[in-house]
Structure 1
Amino acid sequence: MSESLLNVERYPLIIKPDTHRVLFRPFHLGNERMVLIVNRLLTLTEEEVEQELAQVFQEFRHRHQAVEAYLDRRAKEILSFFNLPKELSPLHQLLVGAYFTHEYALEAAALFNPSIVWHPDQTNLPEGCRRFIISLRATGEGHISSIVFRSGFVDQNCGIWLDGHSRYVTPPNSYTEAHLTLDVFKKKIHELGLDDGFASSIASRLPEEVSYSDVYPVVKEDPNYPSHRVAGDGILALMKANYEVHYSDDRALSERILFPYSPNEMNGMEDARFVEFMEDDGSKVYYATYTAYNGRVIFPQLLETRDFMDFRVKTMAGDVVKNKGMALFPRKINGKYVMLGRQDGENIYLMETDNLYFWETSQLLLAPKYPWEFVQLGNCGSPIETPEGWLVLSHGVGAMRKYCIGVFLLDLDNPQKVLARLPYPILTPEGEEREGYVPNVVYTCGAVIHADRLLIPYAMSDYSTGFATIAMEDLMEALRKEIALGKNAEVAEFQEK
């Protein structure tokens, strides 16, 4: 059976890609052409520079914020490679920056795979309303994916209201280095296959907390680096993958973007699964797993933020940190961090650890069982805590590579125990939802509960994003019926083998 037996309310509200939203990006042409272009620009008189720059401003100033600041920064990057006979005027420098900058339409191809969390600011709202943040995977030219945000609120009747999004997208105020413990550094080096004598020698000269600035001189100044360049460059790429992003609060949420920064994610930051996590002291922090892609290999990464202005990006390590679709539980269980994963690309696994960045073991939780999920099974975001268990949305792939969304229930104290699993999906692609970049797909990276309804933002065929809700009582009653029928005996038996 591949049709839902539950009453699903779909909303007319749809988030579609906006091709007007463009981002400044460096325009790379190679060193030889860079020299030729700069030399040509040096032949211009100041009057010619003013004329050319005036045209640039006329065409592009209304499309971006802080145009001069970006072009000035870009010019300094380019001119740092030159030993000019005299300093260029400020306008001349801006024009140099313009020739090595281009616009990137970050969501021209798609805006999809949403996750949703409650906004850290819940002030000044009518009774019964809650403000939310949605993360979205924006895909543009070259199929490069980035992470963008929208906000809104849901009212007492589960009506959804989206805030207007800005026409502008602005790069972060700054990027800074993040730190890794030496243990995580060593483990990651091992996983990348770089743990030869050269890497061990590098590690032996590092402090207990390491950053890119710590590692770079040790690698580059090592006399063996030229003969171990692959290992050395791999070590530096690892450290580049750990960084922090900073925005000021004068930038609207919809203007902020997490665009690929490290070498490991140059071809995309995919499918962020945000979760509001409760710390041991009762404080809250937002984590998100995402998939970094360099064009050849994927790397599971972890994002951390408390305010959606400052973000920390770190690599995870361990034997089971592999493949896509990891989703963190919203609190520790029995003193341990718990995560869902899909290590083999087909089944859902449960992972536990004492260290958020170390994941060494996993066990099989669910395998494909019903025709609508025969191809593969995976999670659709972090589990949601309910009085009756951890509610988990899943995705299944069936005939004709059709993606549907299903649901199962885990024990609160022992999430290794599957309490119930619906034999049919709760959401399947219908009508216009079937048409898009990748047809016949509905998919989500997270959901929330409000006003006794499960609110699911979901991607429609890898192009746009819609919304649906299901009454929680109907959903839980369907799961209770599965428990009463003993439908999960087979799952429990399979787990014990």
Structure 2
Amino acid sequence: MNIRRQSLELRPDPRRVLLRPFMASVVVKPTGHAEPSRRLLDVLARVLMLDDAAVQATLDGVLAEFHDRHEDIRAIFLDRFAKMAPLLPIDRTLDESRRLLIGSYFTNEYSLESSALFNPSIVPAPDQSGLDPGELRFVLSLRATGEGHISSVTFRSGVAGTDGQLRLDPVSKFVHAPRPEPAARYDLKLFRRKLYEMGIDRRMAQQATSELPDSFCMSELVMRITRLRREGLEPEVLRAGEQALLLAEANYTVRFKDGLDMSEKVIFPFSPLESNGIEDARFVRFTEDDGSCMYYATYTAYNGSVVFPQILQTRDFSEFRTSTLNGPAVRDKGLALFPRKINGLYAMLGRQDGENIHLMYSDHPHFWYESRVIVRPSQPWEFTQLGNCGSPIETEAGWLVLTHGVGPMRKYCIGAVLLDRDDPSVVIGRLHEPLLGPAPDEREGYVPNVVYSCGSLVHDGVLILPYAVSDTATRFASIPLDELIGALHAE
């Protein structure tokens, strides 16, 4: 089989930094009341003691050192101050320079990809205008890992030619996080269904959310929870209310400001469930029943001790809606959604038992109740565990699923299976040997002896496979689709 490793490589760049809140600024009491931390008050007091000249001189120094690293640093400093202002015991109006300086003390730079830039997935871009015949514009998602091993989702863009050769667009030196959409609405019926799936007693869940309208926003839920705390209701109702708040925080919408380059966008952990990372996003362009397209991405949220499967969706890579995945079949990592419904149902692959590839169906992309094993490890290079390397790709021959297998010495290789188009539980082809393994110059890294991918695509008869190199960097390979399908049928 003609497997061509391309010369392109994406390596982590520690210069790509995002402005993040610094220092815990509030202490939340058991009653839910938030108070400023002692440290925050101490820092604030010191800044307030400075005279105007010292404030301006210090601020000028900060801006001179950092302004060329961030496009909107002044706005971020002011926003940071505004978020803390209600907690601050200030009895006078502060001038802008002092507000900017206070904001800077509670802001720091975070190097998104100082440790790794890996586990890519690739999808056709929403905008295909301005291309030469036979070209395809794509969006590449990557897992960026920085200080504290916190992972986020970052993006690149580029164009695939007719021969599968790729060219990547220039990468901006600036990085931007999206803003939460405060007016985002929650459907009460769907929200309660998710509470039930979390194991919350139905009566308690209904009582905790009883005063909410059929479509509500976060502020309305917060007001309801505040009333529950004040009313001193039975503890079970209060717990249901607190769980409702956590659920709402994990189901959120964010939007990037207009005009950003794809490489400037980063989805950083936002909710408590993902405080320690957004891991291994598997993007897929999903075709709806009416022919319209929605991009979905399953990912693993990590809070430092427990993993939570999540799903996000977008039509334009500007607004993203993140939702929890619920149901007993939602377990472990590596869920991958099929790019369309099959026999009227959503379909998804998973690895619920940690070893085998499972198939599941659902009438709703957020709820999954049953799964069945369809592919088990059969070759020595995959005896430890077997999982997918992204969403299935529909071909005339069947559903092409790239897999990852773990063998001796925890070596990861990429394989492939072919599933029936009408009944994906039927395996009609399988590679007995790896499609791709770590080359000699790909073995060293944060996790040695690993090649891995979260998604590939087919363009002009060529499989374009972005893959991670030992959990550190990202490379690209291209394989003629007919040769791969032929090998799958032959074996």
What percent identity do the matched residue pairs reach?
A: 49
Question: What displacement does 1:190 show?
Answer: 3.7
Equivalent position amino acid for 2:427 in 1: V
Give the equivalent residue in structure 2 for 1:7: 2
Is 1:56–2:62 an aligned residue pair? yes
Equivalent position amino acid for 1:383 in 2: P
Question: What displacement does 1:200 show?
Answer: 4.3
Match of residue 152, structure 1, among 158, 161, 174: 158
Is 1:351–2:351 an aligned residue pair? no
The DSSP-based 3-state class of the residue aligned with 1:176 is: coil
Equivalent position amino acid for 1:439 in 2: P
Is 1:241–2:250 an aligned residue pair? yes
8 Å CA contact retained: 2:182, 2:217: no
Give the equivalent residue in structure 2 for 1:380: 389
Match of residue 278, structure 1, among 277, 287, 302: 287
Change (3 A) 1:297 1:191: farther
Taking the aligned partners of 1:439 and 1:368, their CA distance within structure 2 comes to: 22
Give the equivalent residue in structure 1 for 2:14: 19
Is 1:129–2:135 an aligned residue pair? yes
Taking the aligned partners of 1:281 and 1:230, their CA distance within structure 2 comes to: 41
Question: What displacement does 1:196 show?
Answer: 7.4
**1:75-131 CA distances to partner (integer Å, 9 max, x unpaired)?**
111222123121110000000000000000010000000000011111111111111
8 Å CA contact retained: 1:198, 1:231: yes
Stretches of structure 1 lacking an aligned partner (at least 5 in a row) = 1-5, 483-497
Taking the aligned partners of 1:316 and 1:209, their CA distance within structure 2 comes to: 20
- May I ask how many residue pairs the two structures share in their alignment? 477
Stretches of structure 2 lacking an aligned partner (at least 5 in a row) = 26-36
Change (3 A) 1:203 1:141: same
Match of residue 333, structure 1, among 332, 337, 342: 342
Is 1:76–2:71 an aligned residue pair? no
8 Å CA contact retained: 1:187, 1:317: no
8 Å CA contact retained: 2:164, 2:463: no
Trace 1:219-368 onto structure 2 (pairs within 5 A): 219-222=225-228, 223-224=231-232, 227-228=235-236, 230-368=239-377
Change (3 A) 1:184 1:370: farther
Change (3 A) 1:184 1:299: farther
Give the equivalent residue in structure 2 for 1:109: 115
Taking the aligned partners of 1:389 and 1:77, their CA distance within structure 2 comes to: 53
Taking the aligned partners of 2:382 and 2:233, their CA distance within structure 1 comes to: 49
8 Å CA contact retained: 2:198, 2:326: no
8 Å CA contact retained: 2:209, 2:241: no
8 Å CA contact retained: 2:381, 2:413: yes
The DSSP-based 3-state class of the residue aligned with 1:80 is: helix
**1:372-396 CA distances to partner (integer Å, 9 max, x unpaired)?**
1111111110100100100000111
Question: What displacement does 1:336 show?
Answer: 0.8
Question: What displacement does 1:210 show?
Answer: 4.4
The DSSP-based 3-state class of the residue aligned with 2:68 is: helix
8 Å CA contact retained: 2:336, 2:349: yes
Match of residue 66, structure 1, among 72, 77, 100: 72
Question: What displacement does 1:186 show?
Answer: 3.2
Taking the aligned partners of 1:202 and 1:127, their CA distance within structure 2 comes to: 57
The DSSP-based 3-state class of the residue aligned with 1:49 is: helix
Match of residue 447, structure 2, among 427, 438, 446: 438
Is 1:28–2:23 an aligned residue pair? yes
**1:393-426 CA distances to partner (integer Å, 9 max, x unpaired)?**
0111111111111100111111111111111110
Taking the aligned partners of 1:85 and 1:183, their CA distance within structure 2 comes to: 45
Is 1:459–2:454 an aligned residue pair? no
**1:158-198 CA distances to partner (integer Å, 9 max, x unpaired)?**
21100011001012244335444444433433443443764
Taking the aligned partners of 1:177 and 1:370, their CA distance within structure 2 comes to: 52
8 Å CA contact retained: 1:178, 1:314: no
Change (3 A) 1:189 1:400: same
Taking the aligned partners of 2:131 and 2:334, their CA distance within structure 1 comes to: 34
Taking the aligned partners of 1:404 and 1:209, their CA distance within structure 2 comes to: 47
Change (3 A) 1:179 1:378: farther
Taking the aligned partners of 1:210 and 1:338, their CA distance within structure 2 comes to: 30
Question: What displacement does 1:147 show?
Answer: 0.3
**1:60-89 CA distances to partner (integer Å, 9 max, x unpaired)?**
001111110000000111222123121110
Question: What displacement does 1:345 show?
Answer: 1.3
Taking the aligned partners of 1:453 and 1:480, their CA distance within structure 2 comes to: 17
Give the equivalent residue in structure 2 for 1:495: none
**1:402-459 CA distances to partner (integer Å, 9 max, x unpaired)?**
1111100111111111111111110101112111100011000011112321110000
Change (3 A) 1:194 1:370: same
Runs of 4 or more consecutive aligned structure 1 residues displaced over 6 Å after TM superposition: none
Taking the aligned partners of 2:397 and 2:210, their CA distance within structure 1 comes to: 50
Is 1:165–2:160 an aligned residue pair? no
Change (3 A) 1:410 1:259: same
Give the equivalent residue in structure 1 for 2:34: none
TM-score (norm 2): 0.94
8 Å CA contact retained: 2:430, 2:489: no
Equivalent position amino acid for 1:465 in 2: T
Taking the aligned partners of 2:208 and 2:454, their CA distance within structure 1 comes to: 39
Taking the aligned partners of 1:251 and 1:276, their CA distance within structure 2 comes to: 21
Equivalent position amino acid for 1:129 in 2: E
8 Å CA contact retained: 1:219, 1:225: no
